Each structure stands twice: as structure tokens, then as C-alpha cells.
Amino acid sequence: MGQRIQGRHRRVCGAPRWAVACGAVVFQIALGGVYAWSVFAHALQRPGTHFGLGRAASVLPFSVAIGVVFVGTTLGGRLQDRRGPRAAALLGGALYSTGALLASLVTDRDRFWFLLAAYGVVGGLGLGIAYIVPVAMLQKWYPERRGLITGVAVGGFGFGAVLVSPVAQWLVDAHPRVPTRAFLPLGLVSLALTTAGAMLFRNPPRRAAPTARSGDLTCADALRTRQWYLLTAMLTLNTVSGIGFVAVTAGAAAAITGIGPASAAALTGAMGLANGAGRVLWGWLSERYGRMRTFALILALMGASLVAVPYASSPVLFVPLAAVVFACFGGGYAVMPATAADFFGLAHAGQIYGLMNVAWSVGGVVGPLLVAALAAGGDYRTAFTVLGLLVLAATALPALTRPPVRRPSLAAAH
């Protein structure tokens, strides 16, 4: 009986749901360019530019953008429930791209405040609204493979840095004194890709969509459970350490291994590939071995790699350790949306997981600033050791986290 129903679901929405998934990947690739920020941070610190910022100031626009993400994901989750995924995605994509376009108008450090407002506030708000839409939408199209399909969707976000980093470096090199000019073409391309992807978005037909079950929690109910806070704590510690490393990858690679700026930018792009691949891999593994067991492994590998990476003075050692950090950081964002749906249900998945993205905002602010403070002298040993110990401590949390009692049918699955 179950196989017959699942087969009917595939026949009803087989081709359309693949089209929606492809649109989601394109959409997320455009958003993933935000993780190429380390290229800009490195450029904004150079003495020959009109900026010449310090290490902490150079990561501030990125930190503000990620800090505002939580507001966007909360709004995006509510908006897509009320207006549908296409409207929410179009709005988010437009705001994110507008932030980049406005950032291109900043020509020197005297207008740094405008860069924070444009890229940080406007772009970050759009990023949050846009990011949550395909994550929640695709779980409704693929209820039988929530972990894998979420990994595929957010994998596009990780792959975005692969494409954007070398292009951003080329554009920055073309404008050595005003590297922010690179945001103009990047913003236009982002607008085109997010619009094209969003036009394919829609919820599954009612006859094929998974129906709400009596055990599905509302957003208010989820916030009354300890599980929501445990899951959010796990994601927060994963994010603090992951984004802290992502924000300084290019500079850290140059300082630890001695490679040049072009090679550091290429490394940042390659790490985006690891980030994207990790999202798909960990999402798939969570289907086979359980969400919490998989998340515990993500945290353990990430922590061990962060502790080891400051001692990797050769690129041969630095690259694989950095790849593990990127893959595990991305993997957390593949496993957690499916976990939230398992624990609380699909009926209000967008709003519930949207609120959980406070972890992204906290991590986006705390991680880069913590690294900047601890590595102010150019030595990343203390900074990365602290990040590694934080995430290793978090490995205790998955063992304490079980599905809410009011969803007993899920407890057996994990």
C-alpha cells in the first residue's frame, strides 16, 4: 500500500518537481556568492586601495549581512506560507541583488557606512528571505527524501562560492583602487539568476502535497519545546566556528602557508566546492544513519580539523583540513532543516526553521569578529583552536536531543 501511494506521488509530480529542484539549485547558486566575501575582505585591507581597512573592519559588512539574515528568514518563512514560494523568492532575490548593486557605489572608506547599510542590511535581509524559501518548499515536494533534497538545494549555495570567487577576484584585480566596483556586475548576474530560478517555484498540488498531521507543531508550539533550543544551539556552534573560518579563509591560507592572493582566492572557490559537496553528502548520510548521529559526526570532524589547521604550513595539509571544515559547516545546513521537519512536522516548517536561523545570524556576527580579535597579530593558532574547542564541546548535544514526545511515530525512526 505504501509503495503504491509513493509511486502515485512520483507519477503525479515527477517532472514538475525536478524542474522546481533545478530552479532551486540555480537560485541558491546566486545566493552562495556571499561566501566569496573573503576575496573582498582581503582586497579592502590592501594599502593601495581607497579603503585600507583593518582586519576587523574588512569582515564587518559580511558580519552585518549574516547578522540580519535571521530577520529575513523569519519574514521569508511567514511570507511563503501566506503568499507562496515564488513571491517570497522574487522579493528576497531582488533585495539581495540590490544590496550588491548599491555596494558598488561605495568608492572609499569615508562611505564605509553605506557599504554596511547596502551590502549588510539590504543584502542580508534579502539573503534571509530568499534562502529559506527553497529549503522549506522542496521538503514538501520530496517528503520521502527530506535530507537528501535539502542537501541538493543548499548544495547550490555552497557551489555558488566556487563560481563567484574567481570571478570576484578578476573583477577586483580590474579595479585595484576601488574593489567595490566588482559588485555592479555581480549584482546584475545575481538578479538574473534569482529571478529565473524563482519563476519555477511553486508548492506541490494539493493532491500530491503531504498533508498536515495531528502531531505537527505550530511555530509557537515548537518554541515551547526544549528540542527547538537544543537544535538551535547545535546549529549556532556549528555556524560560529564555520563562518569564523569562512570569513578569513583567503587571509589565513596566505598567512599559514605563504601562498599569494590569487592562489588564496582560488582556494576560497575550491572550498566552496567542498561546502556544496558536503551539503549533499551529509544530507544523504542523514537519511541512512539518522539525523543526530550524523550531526554529531559533523561536529567532531569539524572541531578536530579546526584545531589542526593552524599547524598545516603546507598547502598539501591546509587544503584537505580546510575542505573538511567547509564540508561540515555546509553539512549542518543540510541536516538541520530535515531534522526540524522530522521533529516538528512539515505544516509550519518554513516558520520554524526560519526562526532557527538565528543561529546563522549569531554565528555570522560572533564567528568573524571572534577570529578577527584573536588573530589581530596575524597568528591564527589561538583563533582556530578556540573555534575547534567550541564545536567539539557541541558534540555532546546530539546525544541529549530526541524528537518531542508528542510525535511518538518519529521517535522510532531515530
3-state secondary structure 162-215: HHHHHHHHHHHHHCCCCHHHHHHHHHHHHHHHHHHHHCCCCCCCCCCCCCCCCC
Q: Which residues contact 412 (CB under 8 A, 6 or more apart)?
A: none
Q: Residue 145 pLDDT more than 70?
A: yes
Residue 183, in any domain of the structure: yes
Domain of 54 in residue numbering reads as: 19-204+214-411
Average pLDDT score over residue span 194-201: 93
Residue 242, in any domain of the structure: yes
Residue 393, in any domain of the structure: yes
Average pLDDT score over residue span 188-207: 89
* pLDDT for 210: 54
> Greater confidence, 104 or 350?
104
Q: How many CB atoms lie within 10 A of CB 4?
A: 8
Q: Residue 160 pLDDT more than 90?
A: no
Q: For residues 214 and 221, give the distance between their C-alpha atoms in angstroms, rounded to a whole number.
A: 13
Say which residue the cell 576587523 belongs to: 56
Say which residue the cell 550588491 belongs to: 100
* pLDDT for 7: 44
Provide the domain count of the chain: 1
Helix then strand then coil, in percent of the chain rounded to 5, is 80, 0, 20
Residue 11, in any domain of the structure: no
Question: Which of these ranges, 9-18, 54-63, 258-267, has the smallest mean pLDDT?
Answer: 9-18
Q: Would you place residue 211 in the very low, low, confident or very high pLDDT band (cuts 50, 70, 90)?
A: low
Q: Give the residue from 320, 49, 361, 336 showing the smallest Cα distance to 175.
A: 49
Mean pLDDT over all residues of the chain? 85
Residue 28, in any domain of the structure: yes
* pLDDT for 199: 93
Q: Give the residue from 276, 70, 25, 310 showing the smallest Cα distance to 165.
A: 276
Q: For residues 334 and 338, give the distance between their C-alpha atoms in angstroms, rounded to a whole number.
A: 7
pLDDT in tens, 32-82: 888 788 788 878 887 777 787 877 788 889 888 988 888 998 898 888 888
CATH assignment at residue 92: 1.20.1250.20
Q: What are phi and psi of 236, to 5 degrees?
A: -65, -50
> Greater confidence, 206 or 347?
347
Q: Residue 309 pLDDT more than 90?
A: yes
Q: Are the beta carbons of 45 and 325 closer than 8 angstroms?
A: no
Q: Residue 90 pLDDT more than 90?
A: yes
The three grid cell numbers given for residue 246, joined into one nine-digit string? 569562512
Q: Residue 161 pLDDT more than 80?
A: no
Average pLDDT score over residue span 398-411: 68
* pLDDT for 353: 87
> Greater confidence, 385 or 409?
385
Q: Are the beta carbons of 367 and 252 closer than 8 angstroms?
A: no
Q: Would you place residue 350 in the very low, low, confident or very high pLDDT band (cuts 50, 70, 90)?
A: confident
CA dihedral 196, 199, 203, 204 (to 10 degrees): -80
Q: Residue 158 pLDDT more than 60?
A: yes
The three grid cell numbers given for residue 365, joined into one nine-digit string? 556576527
Q: Residue 272 pLDDT more than 70?
A: yes
Q: Would you place residue 105 in the very low, low, confident or very high pLDDT band (cuts 50, 70, 90)?
A: very high
In percent, the amount of the chain with pLDDT more than 90 equals: 39
* pLDDT for 166: 82
Q: Would you place residue 296 in the very low, low, confident or very high pLDDT band (cuts 50, 70, 90)?
A: very high
Residue 265, in any domain of the structure: yes
Max mean pLDDT among 188-192, 217-221, 347-351, 407-411 falls in 188-192
Q: Give the residue from 124, 89, 88, 131 showing the smallest Cα distance to 103.
A: 124
pLDDT in tens, 274-288: 888 899 999 999 988
Residue 86, in any domain of the structure: yes
Q: Would you place residue 9 in the very low, low, confident or very high pLDDT band (cuts 50, 70, 90)?
A: very low
Residue 345, in any domain of the structure: yes
Average pLDDT score over residue span 18-34: 90
Q: Residue 16 pLDDT more than 60?
A: yes
Half-sphere exposure of 18 (CA within 13 A, CB side): 5
Max mean pLDDT among 82-96, 259-273, 352-366, 394-408 falls in 82-96
pLDDT in tens, 233-247: 999 999 999 988 987
CA dihedral 284, 129, 368, 381 (to 10 degrees): 0
* pLDDT for 406: 52
Q: Would you place residue 206 in the very low, low, confident or very high pLDDT band (cuts 50, 70, 90)?
A: low
